[in-house]
Amino acid sequence: MLFFVIEDFHGSDRKEIYRRFRDKGRLKPDELVVHHSWIASDMSRCFMLVEADDATVLQ
């Protein structure tokens, strides 16, 4: 199943979040396949098109 995920970054150091992503990669379950992702120009949100056999992987 495909899912569209919107992740909001409120009250966080956004640059630190993306620095962690650069250094450690995606911190996600192996069962979750990310097909595409992009961020808002102000770095406040991440949009992802993901696939998983079970929706509980997203929780």
At 14-59, the pLDDT tens digits run: 778 878 888 998 888 889 999 999 989 988 899 999 999 999 998 8
Which residues, 6+ apart, have CB-to-CB distance to 54 below 8 Å?
Answer: 31
φ/ψ (deg, to 5) at 18: -75, -25
pTM: 0.76
Q: For residue 12, what pLDDT band results from cuts at 50, 70 and 90?
A: low
Per-residue pLDDT, 21: 81
CA 46 to chain centroid, in Å, comes to: 6
pLDDT at residue 1 greater than cutoff 90: yes
